[in-house]
Amino acid sequence: MLAAAVQAEILRLVFAEHWSLSRIARHLGVHRASVRKVVTRRSVALARARPRPRSTLVTPFTAQLQTLLAQDPERSAVNCCLQHLRAAGYRGGITGLRGAVRRLRPGPTREAFMTLTFSPAEVAQVDWGEFGDVFGIGRAVHAFLLVLCYSRLLTVEFTFAQTLDAFLRCHEQAFAFLNGSPRECWYDNMATVVAERRGRLVRFHPRFLAYAGHHGFKPVACTPGKGNEKGRIEDSVKFLRGSFWPGRRFRDLADLNAQAQAWRDDIANQREHAVTRKIPRLHVAEERPHLLPLREPYDTDEVRSVVVSPAGRIAFDSNPPLADPLAVGREAPHAPGQCRDGDPVVRHPPRGPPPPLLAAEPGDRAPRPCRRAPGDQAGRPGRLAGAGRGAARPPCAAVPDPDPGRDPLAPGGTGPPAPPHDALRAAPSRGRARGALGAGHRGERPRGAVGC
């Protein structure tokens, strides 16, 4: 295509100077056909004209294609359109049909969004951010973020879990940082907040509702798949990934949270926000008087009842703390205690005296409780004999506890007497020696037992 200056000169020479087309072509050094096109058009073309569509084998079936795609925009050229057009007389190939379907397929409709505005202390948005296994211990690190929608004040806390107890603890720390709580908190459909959802009907988690009632804020569940409804917290997660995370090294979770709090106070809340053009640390002064006052701290301790394993351990938060070896197989309710990430604290209530133990001979495995009633063993002597090892060996007498009212693991503690112990049997000594009460090595005598 000729330049706009050349086209304008051609039009001037023809209509003002009355030059011939050949003279103009020789004067400007262009082809005479190009000069004729400009003169015929009588205007300067700034963009190349689109070529006229060529007629193909698909052209007669364009209306049918538009009807099929209007009924179902996801129709494929092979499975649907080609089958219908073959019956209508189409004799072309699949390549031309795919090109026609690509041009005629209706595109997605673009939604229109409106900017949300909030009053001071009206709404805070909350979300999690996933940061993977940072310390190489097989546990992912999660970032809890809360941002005030009016002042854009941000707070962040890293944890090892997204459980409800960890979620509530993060709320407690965030509200303590804000020195108050907003009137509404917006969440996505996380399991710790939303127990069930059917369309617009939402049933919140009962324990989370109890926490919301304690502080007086209203939980709001956003529409699934609509990130635009909580765009402030989504932008905060992106800002955390881009501004804080790259190029940092952490010793442990405590060091990670210490660096995150320093970044929050020195960078995130001290910058000029791109939307409000205000510094969140200063802008929040207008919002703090409208926050709901803080109440007493909510009890976020985790209380569970677990069964002590044969190894004398109980599993909690991927850590197997030691338990009372005499509590193997029994339920051990934990009193309320601080069970923080990576540092569980377990406390047991006072228990009664341990059950009597059978003495064991050297080389025998430690005795273990029998699940049958004592009367059932009279007709089945082979259960006590050690099948294949010879004659039965009579059990030895039990050694009584000198002080049955004292807990051996709790000095000075007393408790109700233990129930009668079930019948015990001596297991065959063949194979690995394993103590049922914590004696894990051969020849190690269980606590409270002596030789015959």
Beta strands in 279-403 (DSSP E): 305-307, 331-333, 339-340, 343-344, 368-369
- Could you tell me if 73 and 142 lie in one domain? no
- Could you tell me if 279 and 140 lie in one domain? yes
Residue 192 · residue 205 · CB < 8 Å: yes
User: Which one-letter amino acid corresponds to residue 268?
Assistant: A
The pLDDT confidence band at residue 69, using thresholds 50, 70 and 90, is confident
- Residues 6 or more apart whose CB falls under 8 angstroms from that of 38 comprise 2, 7, 10, 11, 44
The predicted pLDDT at position 244 comes to 95
- Could you tell me if 169 and 271 lie in one domain? yes
The reply to whether 381 falls in a domain is no
- Could you tell me if 135 and 283 lie in one domain? yes
The pLDDT confidence band at residue 399, using thresholds 50, 70 and 90, is very low
Q: Which residues of 182-215 are buried (b: 16+ CB within 10 A; e: fewer)?
A: bebbbbbebebbbeeeeeeeeebbeebeebbeeb
Residue 123 · residue 184 · CB < 8 Å: yes
The pLDDT confidence band at residue 441, using thresholds 50, 70 and 90, is very low
- Is the pLDDT confidence value at 326 over 50? yes
Q: Is the dihedral of CA 188, 191, 194, 200 positive or negative?
A: positive
* CATH code assigned at 173: 3.30.420.10
The reply to whether 380 falls in a domain is no
Q: What 3-state DSSP class applies to 322? A: strand
The reply to whether 386 falls in a domain is no
Task: Identify the DSSP state of 330.
Answer: S
The reply to whether 297 falls in a domain is no
Distance CA(140)–CA(284), nearest Å, equals: 33
Structurally, how many domains does the chain consist of? 5
- Could you tell me if 345 and 361 lie in one domain? no
Residue-range definition of the domain harbouring residue 449: 352-375+393-452
- Could you tell me if 76 and 130 lie in one domain? no
- Is the pLDDT confidence value at 129 over 70? yes
How does strand 123-130 pair with strand 343-344?
unpaired
User: Which one-letter amino acid corresponds to residue 158?
Assistant: F
Structure tokens at 177: 């940082």
Alpha helices in 129-222 (DSSP H): 164-178, 206-215
- Could you tell me if 179 and 270 lie in one domain? yes
- Could you tell me if 156 and 272 lie in one domain? yes
- Could you tell me if 240 and 184 lie in one domain? yes
Mean pLDDT for the stretch of residues 190-198? 92
The predicted pLDDT at position 155 comes to 96
To 10 degrees, what angle do helices 4-15 and 32-41 make?
80
The predicted pLDDT at position 329 comes to 53
Distance CA(348)–CA(249), nearest Å, equals: 38
C-alpha distance from residue 242 to each of 154, 246, 344, 365, 417 (Å): 15, 7, 33, 60, 62
The reply to whether 280 falls in a domain is yes
- Residues 6 or more apart whose CB falls under 8 angstroms from that of 74 comprise none
The number of beta carbons lying within 10 Å of the beta carbon of residue 238 is 11
Q: What is the rounded average pLDDT for all residues in the chain?
A: 76
User: Which one-letter amino acid corresponds to residue 148?
Assistant: L
- Is the pLDDT confidence value at 395 over 70? no
- Could you tell me if 330 and 358 lie in one domain? no
- Could you tell me if 79 and 225 lie in one domain? no
Residue 174 · residue 144 · CB < 8 Å: yes
The predicted pLDDT at position 110 comes to 78
The reply to whether 448 falls in a domain is yes
The pLDDT confidence band at residue 233, using thresholds 50, 70 and 90, is very high
CA 231 to mean position of chain CA atoms: 18
- Could you tell me if 362 and 343 lie in one domain? no
The reply to whether 362 falls in a domain is yes
Beta strands in 73-161 (DSSP E): 123-130, 142-148, 154-159
The reply to whether 296 falls in a domain is no
